[in-house]
């Protein structure tokens, strides 16, 4: 198993008090190192995503907007939630580059499982817009790129972040080869594109206060039959850990063992249909200790 990460991710700065802060990633990596997990895995620095791969998922006007918004110094808001500092676009290009490299690695058979320890996250970024802390939709960019691989006819993206993966749905909705399953607190941010009814989009809303048992039952009810029908050749994971009971942003009640369970569910699906190939990337998760423990459970179950 390989973990992609890069020091540039810590140079993406946001306003003081913002939950999506550099300490999230440094805390996770320090925790993995302290418990000895990083010794067991290969740590690799990705290259930036090639520009033409971005443009298969995002519009030229979105890329132009990000380029034009990049500040010379300090930080600027793109909306009240989403900020850019001088290194933010570079960090986002390296985050997408990690998922893209992970995809290439598992499809070439060098690894079966990859985790991308990245920021900024990506799943709220739509074709034409940054939002919800996200600039580029790393997982959608890599999923579309995977379809160019000779071995890949169908792809699945499984998103268990507490927020709906509206950006991933927006970008992938017209790609029937890509199945997108998203579980999320509802009603809740971002309240966009979360009630589409079409074969490749599976929305799993969860009421505020839902526990792990409700989450697990909903995943088995909604995701399993869709995955059995789709038979993906590679599985991507938008791994957000903000449905954790300790998370300050939302109001679900998952614990580390629920993340271990859903990861084991994903690995079992990948083993059945996708030669075990899973590329997981970090999305949300804003309580530092809960995030570090949940990522650990996820990585242990991936490995």
Distance CA 154, CA 232 (A): 5
Interface with Zn ion (CB under 5 A), residue total 5
Distance CA 118, CA 99 (A): 9
Q: Which is nearer to Zn ion, 62 or 124 (CB)?
A: 124
Residue 212 as a binder of Zn ion (CB under 5 A): the answer is: no
Residue 165 as a binder of Zn ion (CB under 5 A): the answer is: no
User: 127 is written with which tokens?
Assistant: 């074709």
Q: Rounded to the nearest whole angstrom, what is the least distance from the CB of residue 67 to Zn ion in the complex?
A: 26
Residue 256 as a binder of Zn ion (CB under 5 A): the answer is: no
Q: Which is nearer to Zn ion, 154 or 163 (CB)?
A: 163
- State yes or no: is 12 an active-site residue: no
* 75 burial via Cβ count (<10 Å: 0-12, 13-18, 19+): middle
- Dihedral sign from CA coordinates of 141, 146, 149, 154: negative
Distance CA 79, CA 69 (A): 12
Q: Which is nearer to Zn ion, 106 or 181 (CB)?
A: 181
Q: Which is nearer to Zn ion, 242 or 287 (CB)?
A: 242
User: 48 is written with which tokens?
Assistant: 């930036």
Terminal C-alpha separation, the chain: 6
Q: Which is nearer to Zn ion, 81 or 242 (CB)?
A: 242
| Of the residues 119, 154, 163, 277, which one makes contact with Zn ion according to CB under 5 A | 163
Q: Which residue of this chain has its Cβ atom nearest to Zn ion in the complex?
A: 284
Q: Which is nearer to Zn ion, 161 or 287 (CB)?
A: 161
Q: Which are the contacts of 73, defined by CB distance < 8 A and separation ≥ 6? A: 86
Q: Rounded to the nearest whole angstrom, what is the least distance from the CB of residue 66 to Zn ion in the complex?
A: 21
| Of the residues 8, 93, 161, 170, which one makes contact with Zn ion according to CB under 5 A | 161
Residue 242 as a binder of Zn ion (CB under 5 A): the answer is: yes
Q: Rounded to the nearest whole angstrom, what is the least distance from the CB of residue 104 to Zn ion in the complex?
A: 26
Q: What are phi and psi of 22, to 5 degrees?
A: -55, -30
Contact window for Zn ion (CB under 5 A) among 38-46, 100-108, 160-168, 221-229? 160-168
| Of the residues 46, 212, 232, 284, which one makes contact with Zn ion according to CB under 5 A | 284
Contact window for Zn ion (CB under 5 A) among 32-40, 166-174, 235-243, 261-269? 235-243
Strand runs labelled E in the chain:
2-4, 42-44, 76-77, 83-84, 113-116, 155-159, 178-185, 201-206, 234-239, 278-282
Residue 240 as a binder of Zn ion (CB under 5 A): the answer is: yes
Q: Which are the contacts of 26, defined by CB distance < 8 A and separation ≥ 6? A: 10
One of 31, 62, 124, 163 is an active-site residue; which one? 124
Q: Which residues are catalytic?
A: 124
Residues that bind Zn ion (CB under 5 A): 161, 163, 240, 242, 284
């Amino acid at each position: 198993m390989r973990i992609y990460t890069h020091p540039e991710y810590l140079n993406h700065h946001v306003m003081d008090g913002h939950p999506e802060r550099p300490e999230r990633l440094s805390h996770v990596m320090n925790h993995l190192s302290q418990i000895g997990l990083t010794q067991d895995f290969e740590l690799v620095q990705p290259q930036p995503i090639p520009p033409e791969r971005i443009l298969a998922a995002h519009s030229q006007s979105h890329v132009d907007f990000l380029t034009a918004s990049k500040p010379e110094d300090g930080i600027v808001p793109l909306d009240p939630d989403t900020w850019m500092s001088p290194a933010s676009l570079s960090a986002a290009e390296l985050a997408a580059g990690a998922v893209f490299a992970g995809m290439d690695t598992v499809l070439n058979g060098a690894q079966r499982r990859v985790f991308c320890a990245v920021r900024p996250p990506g799943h709220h970024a739509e074709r034409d817009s940054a939002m919800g802390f996200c600039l580029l939709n790393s997982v959608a960019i890599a999923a579309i790129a995977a379809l160019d691989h000779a071995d890949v006819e169908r792809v699945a993206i499984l998103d268990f972040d507490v927020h709906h993966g509206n950006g991933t749905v927006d970008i992938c909705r017209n790609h029937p080869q890509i199945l997108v399953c998203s579980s999320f607190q509802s009603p809740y941010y971002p309240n966009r594109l979360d009630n589409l009814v079409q074969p490749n989009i599976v929305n799993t809303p969860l009421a505020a206060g839902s526990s792990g048992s409700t989450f697990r039952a909903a995943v088995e009810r909604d995701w399993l039959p869709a995955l059995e029908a789709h038979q993906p050749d590679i599985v991507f994971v938008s791994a957000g850990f903000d449905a954790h009971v300790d998370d300050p942003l939302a109001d679900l009640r998952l614990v580390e063992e629920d993340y271990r369970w859903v990861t084991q569910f994903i690995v079992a699906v990948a083993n059945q249909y996708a030669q075990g190939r899973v590329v997981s990337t970090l999305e949300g998760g804003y309580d530092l200790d809960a995030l570090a423990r949940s990522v650990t459970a996820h990585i242990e179950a991936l490995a």
